Structure 1
Amino acid sequence: MNPTITAHTLDVPGARLHYELRGTGPLVVLIGAPMHAESFAPLADLLADEYTVLTTDPRGINRSTVDDRDQDSTPELRADDLARLIAHVDAGPASVFGSSGGAVTALALIQGHPESVRVVIAHEPPLVELLDDRVAVRAATEDYCETFLRGDRVGAWRKFLATANLHMPEPVFMQVFGNEPEPQQAADERHWFANELRASSFWHPDITALRAVAAKIVVGIGEESGEQECERTSNALAAALDIAPVRFPGGHTGFVDDPAGFLPRLREVLTPAK
């Protein structure tokens, strides 16, 4: 039985956030960046039998609008948005599952607003600054962002996948990136490449502050992520915090590819926070 979903908006400084609620019980937040609420819907539906689940579009993406499209979407800004959302729904503190850029948001949340959080599951945060080869990865990231902003969308995505060590068969790549995107997708991609990606990837967490709350942090890595960039950054974060990473089914987007298969491991790490 599908849960009842209610959609809402919240005005925050410089933005108007779209968010959705479903289910009852302790609060769980599922977040991405730039991934928005729709991608988390199947997983949220499965969790709603036991939790109140909040999903949201990050500022400047999809249905969450911003006053200034040229303002960077930093982890601190998105964490402040999330803290305001948690306070607004008055169901916190929250267990927060963040994926990729959303994992960076979740880490910035527990770093800056620890009172809002029961546990943070940071699933494959792309924290380039923690890598030994960060100078080279940073240069490659700057290159594919500039490639996109020069108008070469296909070239930018090719460079992005190569840097991230993500493999996509050519027919699939052209099916996904070879056609003109819909207007909303085009706007979201541009905002990500221009104003969000670098702010997330180049963010350097306060390791001392995170070590102080390390008991409330889970670093998640996909079992199929291999030697991808986000596996390397996640291992580097876990090592810096002196905690063991937790393996989750699938790869970087395992919770989208097979939410039912992903769910049992997620429930395991959420249970202590109830």
Structure 2
Amino acid sequence: MTTSTTPDTPATPTVSAAPGTPDASVVTTAPTVGSLRVYGATLHYEVRGRGPLLLLIPGGTGGAASFDGVADALAAEYTVASYDPRGLARSPLDDPAAEQRVAEHAEDAGRLLDLLSPDEPARVFGSSSGAIAAVHLLTTRPDRVARAVLHEPPLVEVLPDAPAHRALIARVQRTFHAEGLMPAMAEFAAGLRGDGGTPEPPPRLALPPQAAARAERTMAGLPYFVSRIVPAFMSYAPDLRRLRALPHRLVLAAGHDSRGELPHRAVAFLADRLGQDFEYFPGGHTGLTTHPAEFAARMSEILHGEAAP
């Protein structure tokens, strides 16, 4: 395995007020960008800040860019690393048709930990499908994870009505192959909202207006996400025995505004099964994008182990 790190052209730091973040004076600089060869793929990753390592694992198709709104605030106290998961954005697969597995995605995250924090366990934050990868990372390599914060992993296999959600996943796949991407996305979004899976017009993606390149990457990754990430990740069953053995390293969380939606239900039910406290973040399933300053502040609190407000 080989690694390479290519720093961006150094940028002049700027300081801007960001009320609600861990530090109201947020220094914004260009991250150091690198690539990591892993089995079957090359990962694009970005690093900024100083201090203990905090690895951010994205969900959906946003990749490392989905953390742009929080990374600089967190970099005041952590070395913040984010990346594009294999097959998405700037992390190409060697075989574009390769099937995806949660275990392989978790191993990718573990390789990044080994590269960026070889001597100390790291803090890990995962969102949505990225939180599912973080669950597997925690249960298979607990020695590398000091604290894992899991925001709305759609672990539907823990729910008592799991067969209904398996049917949703199968329905989304049939719709994708028979009717195309947008009808499948509408079916999937309706199922996540918990309204019985009734298709509606495709949801509008909540992206910053200035992020044209990110929007293009997000849309380009949707067929891969719907056809390979969704069925592989939403059929994943976590190892509850191992999770129960790691209560002080595991934080389960959801959005204030997503009650009743499938990912919120799944993580709340898992917390109950494990006897874990349950934390809240601002916004809903996409609070990372819609409430970035508040989200970063809440993440800092939770990483420090502070009680929920």
What TM-score, normalized to structure 1? 0.91
- Counterpart in the other structure of 2:171: 143
User: What amino acid is aligned across from residue 215 of structure 1 in structure 2?
Assistant: H
- Counterpart in the other structure of 2:284: 251
Alignment RMSD:
2.2
From 207, 222, 231, the equivalent of 2:264 is 231
Q: Relative to structure 2, which stretch is displaced further, 11-20 or 140-149? A: 140-149
The 2-side partners of 1:184 and 1:256 are apart by: 16
Report if aligned partners of 2:182, 2:202 keep a CA contact under 8 Å in 1.
no
From 281, 298, 302, the equivalent of 1:265 is 298
User: What amino acid is aligned across from residue 237 of structure 1 in structure 2?
Assistant: L
- Find out whether 1:22 has 2:52 as its counterpart: no
From 17, 30, 33, the equivalent of 2:59 is 33
Report if aligned partners of 1:95, 1:117 keep a CA contact under 8 Å in 2.
yes
TM-superposed CA distance for 1:52, in Å, is 0.4
From 181, 200, 203, the equivalent of 1:153 is 181
Residues 40, 174 of structure 1: alpha-carbon distance in 2 compared, 3 angstrom cutoff: closer
- Counterpart in the other structure of 1:200: 233
Unaligned runs of 5+ in 2: 1-14, 16-27, 207-214
Report if aligned partners of 2:191, 2:262 keep a CA contact under 8 Å in 1.
yes
TM-superposed CA distance for 1:123, in Å, is 0.3
- Which has the larger share of helix? 1
- Find out whether 1:118 has 2:146 as its counterpart: yes
- Counterpart in the other structure of 2:32: 6
- Find out whether 1:81 has 2:81 as its counterpart: no
Report if aligned partners of 2:128, 2:153 keep a CA contact under 8 Å in 1.
yes
Residues 272, 235 of structure 1: alpha-carbon distance in 2 compared, 3 angstrom cutoff: closer
- Find out whether 1:128 has 2:161 as its counterpart: no
Structure 1 counterpart SS, 2:230: helix
The 1-side partners of 2:186 and 2:127 are apart by: 21
Report if aligned partners of 1:147, 1:155 keep a CA contact under 8 Å in 2.
yes
Report if aligned partners of 2:43, 2:85 keep a CA contact under 8 Å in 1.
yes
What TM-score, normalized to structure 2? 0.81
The 1-side partners of 2:148 and 2:246 are apart by: 10
The 1-side partners of 2:158 and 2:58 are apart by: 20
Structure 1 counterpart SS, 2:304: helix
Question: What percentage of aligned pairs have identical amino acids?
Answer: 37
Structure 2 counterpart SS, 1:50: coil
Cα deviations by residue, 1:170-210 (Å, 9 ceiling, x for unpaired)? 8883688xxxxx87445411211221111111100010011
TM-superposed CA distance for 1:72, in Å, is 2.4
Residues 174, 8 of structure 1: alpha-carbon distance in 2 compared, 3 angstrom cutoff: closer
From 203, 207, 213, the equivalent of 1:173 is 203
Report if aligned partners of 2:66, 2:288 keep a CA contact under 8 Å in 1.
no
Aligned length: 267
User: What amino acid is aligned across from residue 7 of structure 1 in structure 2?
Assistant: V
The 1-side partners of 2:106 and 2:54 are apart by: 15
- Counterpart in the other structure of 1:179: none
The 1-side partners of 2:221 and 2:123 are apart by: 27
TM-superposed CA distance for 1:165, in Å, is 0.9
Report if aligned partners of 1:145, 1:156 keep a CA contact under 8 Å in 2.
yes
Larger Rg: 2
Residues 78, 171 of structure 1: alpha-carbon distance in 2 compared, 3 angstrom cutoff: closer
Structure 2 counterpart SS, 1:138: helix
Cα deviations by residue, 1:246-269 (Å, 9 ceiling, x for unpaired)? 011111111211111112221111
